[in-house]
Structure 1
Amino acid sequence: MLKHCQRLLVVTLLLAAPVHAEKLLCHVTYGGDTRDLEARPVNSPYTVPVQPIGSYFLFRIVFHKEPADLASIKLYVFADRDSGPVPIQQATYPYPPVAGKRAGYGFTGLHQVYEPIRDGELQYWCEWFPSEPAR
């Protein structure tokens, strides 16, 4: 009986296909260091935190799918000033993103944002990974 249960468990685990949830992956480069920032759909854009990039930039990804009339992908770059974050770039894309790649840089193309004070450069591009259907 135990062997039968063990076999049943093994077969069940093998047949259970991993579900890959929909996500965005943004590749952010600053000061020669590249970080991959992942984002999943959120119910409220107000709950999405910023990610510090170096000592000057903040990066925020808002992936909002519902309701359909508000569905979009918004990317924000802020300068992290002593007086608080200051927006220096915002890009909006439709959801779902337009298929295809822009010169190998995902659905966004390559963005370059410059520090207005320190003369540094932040580069980023993002790609979309739709949910994989269950097998």
Structure 2
Amino acid sequence: MRFTAFFLLALTLALPASAAEQILCHVEYGGETRELRAAPVSSPYAVAPTAIGSYFLFRVVFERSGSVKLYTYADREQGPVPIHVAEYQRQDLRPGRYGFTGVQTVYEPLRDGELKYWCELVGKAAR
């Protein structure tokens, strides 16, 4: 009996981080779709953006409070410039066909491309 309890505890601790709640964003640009995952963080300042193509930077901040902030930046020579920001509170993270965001489109201000994304809450609560 002790071995079974120990085995179950070890198995629970060995579950991948993906079993905990995460934000999963499906980002499409230039015919390629990428999946970006974000785990809850205590401080949003340590979350770095991800380069998407040669022009966009995409940043997902999932705060422990449950709020989600999505940033799209234009990667300019002078530095990143925010061109799209979306904020969602915990009660807004309801599932839908395209997650809680719906399909969002961000256009390049200087070129003719577009970035599309939608995000969803995945995994179960780590409570």
| Shared fold per TM-score greater than 0.5 | yes
Rounded Cα–Cα distance in structure 2 between residues aligned with 1:133 and 1:65: 11
Q: Which residue of 1 aligns with 2:88?
A: 93
Q: Which residue of 1 aligns with 2:46?
A: 47
How many residue pairs were aligned?
122
CA offsets per residue over residues 36-83 of structure 1, 9 Å max, x none? 0000000101010000000000000011123xxxx5100000000001
Q: CA deviation at 1:116?
A: 0.7
Identify unmatched segments of 5+ residues in structure 1: 1-7
Rounded Cα–Cα distance in structure 2 between residues aligned with 1:131 and 1:96: 15
Q: Which residue of 2 aligns with 1:121?
A: 114
Q: CA deviation at 1:123?
A: 0.2
How has the CA–CA distance of structure 1 residues 15 and 43 changed in structure 2, closer, same or farther, with 3 Å as cutoff?
closer
Q: Which runs of 4+ in 1 moved over 3 A?
A: 13-19
RMSD over equivalenced CA pairs, Å: 2.5
2:95 corresponds to 1:79: no
Contact 1:97/1:128, CA 8 A, preserved across alignment: no
Q: TM-score, normalized by length of structure 2? A: 0.84
Percent pairwise identity: 52
* Corresponding letter in the other structure for 2:89: P
Q: CA deviation at 1:24?
A: 0.6
Q: CA deviation at 1:118?
A: 1.1
Describe how 1:98-117 pairs up with structure 2 within 5 A.
Answer: 98-101=93-96, 104-117=97-110
Q: Which residue of 1 aligns with 2:7?
A: 12
- Alignment partner of 1:16: what SS? helix
